[in-house]
Structure 1
């Protein structure tokens, strides 16, 4: 309809424009006034992402502060599936998976996820690798700050320290046992993500709960001695074609200086290792100690006043008890007037049985218990076995005889090493300790609580035992290979039949040696165990040389002065 009056047409047009503008104004009032908070919140939620902020995990160091486990800067790589170019999904999945070592199918599924704008592809990516990923320039691929665990000493102390898995949790060893302390308390952050490139918006809106850093651990271990122990036991296992081996180095007050297991693994590549390689055999493997256990029977007999080191016996190479024959490891003629000290030095099973006849089953059991048999050591490592040790009412008629010389009962290597540490410590048993204390984020050190201690035998009995154990390293004893020039050495060999659970019977041997030096003032104890060696199997032949290798290195490393005195002559035979 045409309007003849131009002013009426202009007024009508202005009215229509005013009406349209009023609609716009009303909508603006609604958006910026009435519902401004609602729309602002919706817009913010499209840009905000909640990101977990793991706390910086505490470091683990040796006694001198050398790092065994560190936390380093890393990145998390994520994808926003809504921003991925559908035509490039296959290309992106192939290139990202190759650079991050991921399965291409997994990455493709992440790119295709629905109803989400944040899917984490990989944790703990090194910053330089993350930078390469981001340089590809794909929209929808972003990164967030993280940290990753590294082990600068590689396999050194790996079975003690353990590892941290992809989820940031401790998987074995101290990393597992002290996971909560090391991990600290995680936080979180809400950050604005740019719709253009998927990166954080600097100075953007956000909320944050700061993480609380974990505490670090300072160990009693010496990295150098630990390395030497691992090198020595690895070489011995290979040389003697053994199944496995362990070395423990203790101070007399049972501080763990080294704890080596072989086979072992690299915690930086823990996924490539088997469960057996990752396990700590020092505490997790039970074995019959054999003749190294005779020292407890000897301690009981001396402490109870039933023998002296000079008490003599006529010792044949075999003896019958009820319907069972017990033998020495070698055939020999009757040793006339062999002293009790000589019985220990020559490691005679028969002589030990004869000397222990007047020791009751209960007394023998009580001394074994007092020295730590049948109970966890208290060192605080996961996977520890207390061994197998029953009460006398469950012993059969002849059990007490093999028990007296270290068979039909089982222990772990740390328990057995602790027996000799007790003797070296003047008869006082101290709970083994591995963690010297904790470190906060400022580096302040808090020592661990003092370990429990109690007297097991008198100081005089301990000194008599040490003098007797020196006899084992003489030419008349079973371990002259354990001697160290310039130092007096006291110790004991063990060659025990090895019980194999899968075969439900004995098969092969456990060869061991445990000793202390200098014998006149013990500073260190070293325990060596080889399981099922096939090229030689006597403890004095395969384990004693490892003891010498590790002990000599450890004494020099700790700058222990040479003995300077001659060992007293052990009387092997009475006049």
Structure 2
């Protein structure tokens, strides 16, 4: 029989020591981790926590306005509200109700909104980019409240005139960036600088009260004041639009320039761009045709040939030319605008009756090089200098490369290409006594403190003598007389000087000359010029002579502008200009 087992008691002191060692080890690990978290890596973890808790919010700067010369707003920024939804907060049972209400308030298809609500993985879906504040308030105040629907403050760009000066002003995109016209050219100045706000938010995105926040305030955009007169712009736009429609033309442009300053008072194109619906218009119709489209000027160019002839001393206004209705130039026979027997025309008569043959005879007394130099002095081959988006320089071939026929056709405006603004600038130079002033479209801008800062005056360049400019003015007055080609431009009570232009139109599609460019440009009062008006109509299908198609537009626009500017008739009588030999 085995003896019973002896039960021995454990050593309590040893167990306690082992336990203390284990606890000490665990506590040491915890202490080391705390030292790492709160000491060595505290800044790293604090930064990560702040990143999760602190949210950044962009504070959009208010875009500056574009105004006319009298301060009337042509482009301005209005307050609006963005409507958005958080699909994760909208239960499936509430989706139809939310979609129905938003569709009715925002005038959007219900199906389009419903598609955004089913995206439960998303916390943010934009429903409307910019709605009236009153509409947003009505949505947010709805009882019972629409859970998951929110709004935030935004801005929207507005153009009160719709298509008034549309291609000149241009437009902004959804992000507020200028995409065309002056909105693009002056985007940096108009846009200002966005600000930024940092706030602490909880898990649900709500701001935590009494927590820190920082603010970098936005800097509002500055205003741009144009030289454009809103009322005259409207009249010019209506006149050219009506005539393009009436003649079945492709396009047209009308420009008004203040003679003493070179400031552009109106710059209209047809068709114009509706700035409230620009996204529905083809991009090729976003451009400002007054400065981008080039064309052969035709007989309006004869004043430059006249200037070259008079400045050289080879011709005087009373110089007589024997003018047939055709002339041979190299391998081509060039004809006058209409058949006629040989005429003895004074040089004034050549310009007044717009004789191609007479103009060629005068240019042959000048020479190719001097004619080319005069074209350059009037600004051909260089940009006018307004800084407008897409401004073209036109085409002026080197005189040494002129073909045999070009040596004749360039004299009457075929073989060179210009823009409408370049042509108007030529006549501003004549009207201003031979001094060209760089055309100006921006009267000034506002500084950051709101003070108006006027633009520097346009550069002044002497092109021809005052005597030559005066003699050409007399010829242009005769052109608007009963015997001239521009008699439909005459305005009762005013002395008007101007010139018709009818040029064959080069068309890329037909790869040749197809159709015509009809032009009239002139100034009034002729003896004390204040305004230049140009009208150009491209490819009319109901008539094509400049005196028939463009001169009536000139008359309407000039008559309105003279009245609007309160420019009275001078009350003087023009001197008699002999058109044919032997006349007095």
Alignment TM-score > 0.5, same fold: yes
What residue is the counterpart of 2:195 in the other structure? Answer: 187
- Counterparts of 2:78 and 2:160 in 1: how far apart (Å)? 11
Indicate yes or no: 2:215 matched with 1:208: yes
What residue is the counterpart of 1:258 in the other structure? Answer: 266
TM-superposed deviation, 1:143: 2.1
Instruction: Return closer, same or farther for 1:111/1:147 CA change in 2, 3 Å cut-off.
Output: farther
Unmatched 5+ stretches in structure 1: 1-25
TM-superposed deviation, 1:370: 1.0
Unmatched 5+ stretches in structure 2: 1-29
Instruction: Return closer, same or farther for 1:193/1:334 CA change in 2, 3 Å cut-off.
Output: farther
**Which shows bigger deviation, 186-195 or 283-292?**
186-195
Instruction: Return closer, same or farther for 1:296/1:307 CA change in 2, 3 Å cut-off.
Output: same
What pairs with 1:214-233 in structure 2 (closer than 5 Å)? 214-233=221-240
TM-superposed deviation, 1:388: 1.8
1:107–1:121 CA contact under 8 A, matched in 2:
no
TM-superposed deviation, 1:201: 7.1
Deviations 1:122-152 (A, max 9, x none): 4333212322443463333322222111111
1:481–1:548 CA contact under 8 A, matched in 2:
yes
What residue is the counterpart of 1:142 in the other structure? Answer: 150
- Counterparts of 2:43 and 2:107 in 1: how far apart (Å)? 44
Give the count of matched residue pairs: 545
1:511–1:543 CA contact under 8 A, matched in 2:
yes
**Equivalent position to 2:134, from 116, 128, 132:** 128
1:97–1:107 CA contact under 8 A, matched in 2:
no
Instruction: Return closer, same or farther for 1:275/1:212 CA change in 2, 3 Å cut-off.
Output: same
TM-superposed deviation, 1:358: 2.1
Indicate yes or no: 2:301 matched with 1:297: no
What residue is the counterpart of 1:54 in the other structure? Answer: 60
**Equivalent position to 2:569, from 552, 562, 570:** 562
What residue is the counterpart of 1:66 in the other structure? Answer: 72
Deviations 1:497-535 (A, max 9, x none): 010012110111100100000000000000000011111
Larger radius of gyration: 2
Deviations 1:268-312 (A, max 9, x none): 222122224322110111111100011101011101111011000
TM-superposed deviation, 1:49: 3.6
2:476–2:498 CA contact under 8 A, matched in 1:
yes
Instruction: Return closer, same or farther for 1:107/1:158 CA change in 2, 3 Å cut-off.
Output: farther
- Counterparts of 1:408 and 1:360 in 2: how far apart (Å)? 16
TM-superposed deviation, 1:98: 6.5
**Equivalent position to 1:373, from 370, 380, 396:** 380
- Counterparts of 2:525 and 2:210 in 1: how far apart (Å)? 66
1:142–1:199 CA contact under 8 A, matched in 2:
no
Instruction: Return closer, same or farther for 1:110/1:85 CA change in 2, 3 Å cut-off.
Output: closer
What residue is the counterpart of 2:446 in the other structure? Answer: 439
What residue is the counterpart of 1:85 in the other structure? Answer: 91
1:58–1:182 CA contact under 8 A, matched in 2:
yes
1:353–1:404 CA contact under 8 A, matched in 2:
yes
2:518–2:549 CA contact under 8 A, matched in 1:
yes
**Which shows bigger deviation, 281-290 or 46-55?**
46-55
TM-superposed deviation, 1:81: 4.5
What is the DSSP-based 3-state SS (H/G/I as helix, E as strand, rest coil) of the residue aligned with 2:544? coil
What residue is the counterpart of 2:22 in the other structure? Answer: none
What residue is the counterpart of 1:165 in the other structure? Answer: 173
Indicate yes or no: 2:576 matched with 1:573: no
- Counterparts of 2:174 and 2:328 in 1: how far apart (Å)? 59
Q: CA RMSD in A?
A: 2.8
2:518–2:538 CA contact under 8 A, matched in 1:
yes
- Counterparts of 2:559 and 2:115 in 1: how far apart (Å)? 58
1:417–1:514 CA contact under 8 A, matched in 2:
yes
What residue is the counterpart of 2:14 in the other structure? Answer: none
- Counterparts of 1:41 and 1:496 in 2: how far apart (Å)? 73
Deviations 1:349-408 (A, max 9, x none): 111001111222121111111111111111111122211222123222221211110012
What residue is the counterpart of 1:344 in the other structure? Answer: 351
Instruction: Return closer, same or farther for 1:205/1:127 CA change in 2, 3 Å cut-off.
Output: farther
- Counterparts of 1:237 and 1:202 in 2: how far apart (Å)? 64
What pairs with 1:131-530 in structure 2 (closer than 5 Å)? 131-135=137-141, 137-191=145-199, 205-252=212-259, 253-335=261-343, 337-440=344-447, 442-530=449-537
What is the DSSP-based 3-state SS (H/G/I as helix, E as strand, rest coil) of the residue aligned with 1:546? helix
Deviations 1:20-41 (A, max 9, x none): xxxxxx9xxx9xx969999998
Deviations 1:408-453 (A, max 9, x none): 2111100000000011111111111000000246541001122222
2:95–2:117 CA contact under 8 A, matched in 1:
no
Deviations 1:453-481 (A, max 9, x none): 21111111111110110011011100111
Instruction: Return closer, same or farther for 1:207/1:476 CA change in 2, 3 Å cut-off.
Output: same
TM-superposed deviation, 1:89: 4.8
1:427–1:462 CA contact under 8 A, matched in 2:
yes
- Counterparts of 1:429 and 1:202 in 2: how far apart (Å)? 66
